[in-house]
């Protein structure tokens, strides 16, 4: 059978794995930056232990081609760390090896996935005897042994019974929500686990990493994104870590730490109480932010956050709370300071990078902010997205004694927007992001980026008429812009506001699942769709929208938000 692997033709022999073929071609580079981690075939991701042509498929000179190989025409694309999907494979492999090492060292101790802090992953270990140095030595040993990571299919009842016997009730509870009667898991000796996606072929592929001690557990350091052959440096992010820790504490208080917990609350109707408490918590937080703004005497709030974090609703809810203090908030969007589209130079790919800071007239904004804070009126700009040009309609804007201007936008925390002579106490910096603390189970966290993609897909379809494919096509570009223009400044915020809600996965599923289910395998975004479906398959959808208030951040995405009327 002829294959084309990264453009190179090769004849696959019956029973030969992709990894064997790759090594035959000399493509298994020892450097992580060049080493294949998985393969993409007909829009699906496969482990390198995948066999394109099985022995049993060759019968009496008649060839039966496997479905993915038939659909791709023999075309195979190798994925490396520089590919987002390749990086995900590496991350899952790291998690498997880490929990394998923990199981060997501390077999009866609970360990739990925590948040990602910059280029580091925090994992909690519930033991006073835990040693990060001992774990590091055990992981190094596992990597040197280069143990194969194999996958098997087991009956769901068998998997649930085994996890219960091992005390992993979180995983057993999650699997009880699975519709299929089977479960695929990875295993190594007597240890088995799963991370909802493919792993590298063996422990030896975990080449670049480090482990640092931390309170209650440890940090696992990933490779540098741009230089995968180097371990990333750990960056202190106390504000971010504090907000994430607070979210996990709320999960414990609300008895909703995992998706299985959320499903139980949905089934017994207690999700309605969860919604009420979650929304009350948000209202309390907005009230606290307003208190701080007023106590400091700030006249401007710079509000930033990644895509689908709920910035618009957050700005409006903060404005409401400021009114309680007798303030007169004024909402201003950085989008109105866009430079005319025909004046923006295209990038190397010939396209306009509309998330670059150079698309904003930063000089004009600085001038306007300085004038406003000095009590001088300005002519407010309005960007016309149909014509691609900034316009002025002689609408004058001037701050009074009780005015507070709320500036919302992608670049709002970028220090280049603030005048040099400005009294920094006049400006309050607010970062909004849905830092979802909910886990699938103890060993599987739901990424914040996944929740944001769910939100954006639903909103774009419901309110903007955009297809799933269109939203997914833009997502990689959106995330690149966030990494460059938002995340580097998030720790500089005076307050980080967690805009996630513990209940929203159960609400979003009803809106998005039919859209995802309609995407065919041959579509270019099918890989992204499958990653979402794998998570949502375990979520029980909840018909509780009559419980969600019209000012809720969730309403910004599912509709019914009063701030959009």
Task: Pick the last residue of a domain from 236, 266, 281.
Answer: 236
Determine the 3-state secondary structure of 453 from DSSP: helix
Residues 337 and 422 in one domain: yes
Residues 29 and 128 in one domain: no
Residues 245 and 232 in one domain: no
Cα(327)–Cα(319) distance, rounded to whole angstroms? 8
Report the percent of the chain where pLDDT is more than 70: 98
Task: Pick the last residue of a domain from 60, 80, 100.
Answer: 80
Residues 297 and 323 in one domain: yes
What is the model's pLDDT at position 65? 67
Place 420 in a pLDDT band, splitting at 50, 70 and 90: confident
Q: What is the pLDDT of residues 188-233, one digit of tens each?
A: 988 999 888 899 999 999 999 999 999 999 999 999 998 999 999 9
> 559: domain range?
240-564
Residues 415 and 501 in one domain: yes
Place 63 in a pLDDT band, splitting at 50, 70 and 90: low
Q: Please provide residue 40's backbone torsions phi and psi, each rounded to the nearest 5 degrees.
A: -110, 125
Query: Which is nearest to 89 in space by CA: 235, 222, 191?
Result: 222
Residues 496 and 544 in one domain: yes
Residues 533 and 558 in one domain: yes
Cα(44)–Cα(525) distance, rounded to whole angstroms? 10
Calculate the CA dihedral of residues 163, 167, 170, 172 and round it to 10 degrees: 30
Cα(162)–Cα(508) distance, rounded to whole angstroms? 32
- Determine the average pLDDT of the residues in 543-565: 92
Across 313-327, 351-365, 417-431, 525-539, which has the greatest mean pLDDT?
313-327
- Strand ranges (E), 118-190: 120-125, 150-155, 182-188
Tokens describing residue 173: 């509870």
Residues 181 and 225 in one domain: yes
Cα(563)–Cα(565) distance, rounded to whole angstroms? 6
What is the model's pLDDT at position 565? 57
Q: What is the pLDDT of residues 228-251, one digit of tens each?
A: 999 999 999 999 999 999 999 999
Q: 123: which DSSP letter?
A: E
Number of domain units in the chain: 3
Q: b/e map of 367-385 (b: 16 or more CB within 10 Å)?
A: ebbbbbbeeeebebbebee
Question: In residues, how long is the chain?
Answer: 565
Mean of all residue pLDDT scores within the chain: 92
- Determine the average pLDDT of the residues in 285-299: 97
Contact 300, 489 (CB under 8 A): no
What is the model's pLDDT at position 1? 78
Place 64 in a pLDDT band, splitting at 50, 70 and 90: low
CATH of the domain at 428: 3.40.50.300
Q: Is the pLDDT assigned to residue 58 strictly greater than 80? A: no
Q: What is the pLDDT of residues 337-380, one digit of tens each?
A: 999 999 988 877 777 788 899 999 999 999 999 999 999 999 99
Those residues with Cβ within 8 angstroms of residue 467's Cβ, 6 or more apart along the chain or in another chain:
461
Residues 541 and 499 in one domain: yes
Report the percent of the chain where pLDDT is more than 90: 79
Calculate the CA dihedral of residues 501, 506, 507, 509 and round it to 10 degrees: 120
Cα(175)–Cα(152) distance, rounded to whole angstroms? 16
What is the model's pLDDT at position 59? 62
Residues 230 and 345 in one domain: no
Q: What is the pLDDT of residues 470-481, one digit of tens each?
A: 999 989 889 888
Residues 115 and 69 in one domain: no
CATH of the domain at 145: 3.30.980.10
Residues 353 and 463 in one domain: yes
Q: Is the pLDDT assigned to residue 489 strictly greater than 80? A: yes
- Determine the average pLDDT of the residues in 280-309: 97
Please state, as a whole number, how many other Cβ atoms lie within 10 Å of the Cβ of residue 16: 19
Task: Pick the last residue of a domain from 61, 80, 99.
Answer: 80
Tokens describing residue 478: 């959106």
């Amino acid at each position: 059978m002829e294959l084309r692997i990264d453009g190179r033709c090769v004849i696959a022999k019956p029973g030969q794995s992709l990894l064997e073929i790759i090594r035959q071609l000399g493509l298994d580079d020892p450097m992580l930056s060049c080493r294949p981690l998985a393969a993409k075939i007909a829009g699906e991701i496969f482990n390198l232990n995948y066999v394109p042509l099985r022995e049993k498929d060759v019968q009496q000179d008649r060839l039966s081609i496997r479905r993915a190989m038939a659909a791709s025409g023999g075309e195979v694309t190798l994925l490396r760390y520089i590919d987002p999907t390749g990086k995900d494979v590496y991350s899952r492999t790291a998690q498997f090896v880490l929990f394998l090492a923990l199981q060997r060292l501390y077999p009866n101790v609970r360990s739990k996935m925590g948040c990602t802090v910059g280029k580091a992953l925090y994992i909690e270990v519930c033991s006073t005897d835990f040693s990060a140095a001992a774990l590091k030595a055990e992981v190094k040993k596992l990597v040197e042994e280069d143990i194969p990571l194999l996958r098997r299919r087991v009956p769901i009842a068998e998997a649930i019974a085994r996890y219960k016997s091992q005390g992993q009730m979180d995983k057993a509870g999650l699997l009880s929500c699975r519709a299929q009667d089977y479960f695929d898991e990875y295993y190594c000796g007597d240890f088995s686990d799963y991370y909802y996606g493919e792993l590298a072929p063996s422990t030896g592929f975990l080449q670049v990493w480090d482990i640092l001690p931390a309170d209650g557990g440890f940090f696992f350091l990933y490779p540098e994104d741009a230089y995968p052959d180097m371990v990333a440096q750990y960056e202190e992010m106390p504000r971010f870590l504090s907000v994430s820790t607070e979210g996990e504490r709320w999960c414990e208080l609300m008895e909703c730490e995992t998706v299985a917990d959320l499903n139980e609350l949905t089934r017994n109707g207690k999700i309605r109480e969860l919604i009420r408490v979650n929304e009350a918590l948000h209202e309390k937080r907005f009230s606290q932010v307003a208190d701080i703004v007023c106590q400091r005497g700030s006249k401007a709030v710079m509000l930033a956050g990644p895509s689908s974090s709920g910035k618009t609703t957050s700005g409006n809810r903060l404005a409401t709370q400021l009114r309680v203090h007798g303030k007169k908030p004024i909402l201003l969007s950085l989008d109105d300071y866009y430079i005319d589209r025909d004046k923006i130079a295209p990038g190397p790919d010939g396209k306009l990078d509309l998330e670059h800071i150079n698309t904003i007239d930063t000089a004009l904004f600085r001038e306007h902010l300085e004038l406003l804070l000095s009590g001088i009126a300005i002519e407010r700009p309005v960007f016309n997205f149909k014509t691609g040009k900034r316009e002025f309609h002689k609408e004058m804007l001037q701050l009074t004694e009780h005015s507070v201007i709320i500036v919302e936008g992608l670049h709002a925390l970028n220090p280049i927007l603030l005048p040099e002579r400005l009294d920094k106490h006049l400006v309050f910096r607010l970062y909004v992001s849905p830092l979802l603390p909910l886990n699938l189970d103890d060993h599987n966290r739901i990424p914040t980026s996944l929740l944001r993609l769910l939100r954006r897909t639903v909103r774009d379809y419901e309110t903007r008429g955009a297809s799933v494919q269109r939203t997914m096509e833009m997502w990689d570009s959106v995330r690149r812009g966030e990494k460059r223009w938002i995340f580097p400044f998030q720790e500089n915020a005076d307050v980080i506001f967690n805009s996630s809600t513990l209940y929203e996965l159960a609400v979003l599923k009803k809106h998005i699942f039919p859209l995802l289910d309609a995407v065919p395998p041959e579509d270019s975004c099918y890989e992204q769709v499958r990653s979402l479906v794998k998570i949502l398959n375990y979520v029980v959808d909840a018909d509780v929208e009559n419980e969600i208030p019209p000012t809720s951040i969730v309403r910004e995405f599912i509709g019914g938000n009063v701030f959009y009327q």
